[in-house]
Homo-oligomer: A and B are copies of this chain.
Amino acid sequence: MSFTMICRGSLLLLLLTGLVSADPAKRLSDERPNFIIMLMDDMGYGDLGVMGEPNRETPNLDQMARDGVLYPEFYTGAAICSPSRAAMLTGRLPVRNGFYSTNNFGHNAYTPQEIVGGISDDEILLPELLKKAGYTTALVGKWHLGHRPQYHPMDHGFDTWFGAPNCHFGPYDDKETPNIPVYRDRNMMGRYFEDFQIDRKSGESNYTRLLADEAVSFLQSQVNASAPFFLLWTPDASHAPHYASKEFLGKSRRGLYGDAMMELDHSVGRILNALRDNNMTNTLVFFSSDNGAALVDKGHGGSNGRLLCGKQTTFEGGFRVPTIAWWPGQAAPGTVSHQVGTQMDLFTTFTQLAGQPIPDDRVVDGIDLTENLRDGSITDRSVFFYRGDLLMAARVGHYKSHIWTFTTPPEELGNGTDHCPGMSIANLTTPEQINRTDTPVVIDLSRDPGEMYQLPTYTDEYQTEVNKMYKVITDHVTDMVKGRPALDWCDQAVMNWSPSGCEALNDCLTPPKSDPYRCYWPH
């Protein structure tokens, strides 16, 4: 479909449905919506009030759901941060875009600061397409698609960036390991625990407020802009080590994690209010999380509600995430959509709405949710659950078949790491990697989102669903072109010793001699 056709079609639709807003500030020349993705870090399916969290820390998100579309069946592209983010921004599964490793069979990999690789130049990212379509693009928050210069967000479609390339682990001593830098655009502004404080004892940090301020400033800078914008807002306070501003510390009923939730929710409210106050409601906003809650945080992290297990696993607790869309005048308020969605769909939806063609030289896993948002129509689609490049499970219709099962390996369990604490389902939550392709475990997710009750193998229902699933997986894998694995190699020398801009801050550190090794991925 050509750009002209899409634009004409959209305008026609707008005129016919009377949805053209009377907003005096609207761009006469460009009716295309702005886009915002608010992507949380390790926030679980059950962490929002609207998703049942008993402490009800999220009045702004609950209201956002009432004003927009709640998606109770929305998935990430992976159960861990970097691959999930890479999937969202490329519209493609990590197995295709290369965000995996083959070092450890069927294990998850990500981008710690010793990682050598990052997002490939061969991948086309959503911000690149939107920029091509004339959008102004901004990243505020964590990147996590590689921290070395060639992987910087500014070289992969973003006009501006404020935030960090990696997780805010630390504090480090800057000798064995450097602290993680925080960038503005191409230059570091300082480092976590040095210039951007997180008090590990009290949990106090004003960093979420900084990120909210940055987002609001960006929006204000766009009020009179002639081009639409794309803002990717990725705060990380709900990822361990959790933190919150003084204003929110001790305010929740469930400790620091709840305090962080309250501040993130408050920030969501600030951003939506900035849109309203500036007559910028021709903006499609998606709120979601990069993966399920990290249950290894042992009651100090988030909640996946009734879903099975957490981050790192291919159970629902790893992949299904709280998701809300908000698009005043276009998506009917108070909608609950049972569209099965994935974050890769944002790539396709936003690209289409921006009038750009979807790349046709590669497989894109995302589907276009525009009609679903506008009129609730449902598109049938399957979901694939990988660990690394190993396909572990598939959702076909409302049935999920597990062809490999794996929770946490015994040596990790021995270290106190448990991705499925307190959960023990025969044939399903296995600490060993077990191939069940011959007799998959089949779950009816509509009746049983917690994956507690398996379809008996002797039933017709089981056989029917298994056969359907085999066919869908056959379609999916037989022409699969796997990306070159980007997360195989580590090297202490590539860590954030001397990020660009360190000279001006007198904060350049000396890297050790390069000594690449295959990264070890424990689960």
Contacts and interface: CB of A to CB of B under 8 A. Distances in A.
Nearest to A338: B253
A54 interface: yes
A460 B160 CA distance: 48
Nearest to A297: B453
Contact of A52 (B52, B308, B338): B52
A358 interface: no
A337 to B, nearest CB: 10
Interface string A277-310: 0000000000000000000001110011110100
Interface in A291-332: 298-300, 303-306, 308
B298 A453 contact: yes
A253 B398 contact: yes
Interface in A245-266: 253-255, 257-258
Contacts of A66: 66
A476 B304 CA distance: 36
A255 to B, nearest CB: 5
Interface string A35-55: 000000000001001111111
A452 interface: yes
Interface string A54-86: 111000000000100010110000000000000
Contacts of A444: 299
A409 interface: no
B425 A336 contact: no
Contact of A447 (B70, B73, B254): B254
Given A300-B447, A447-B299, A422 B425 contact: yes
B299 A448 contact: yes
Given A255-B447, A300-B447, A305 B52 contact: yes
A407 to B, nearest CB: 13
A260 to B, nearest CB: 13
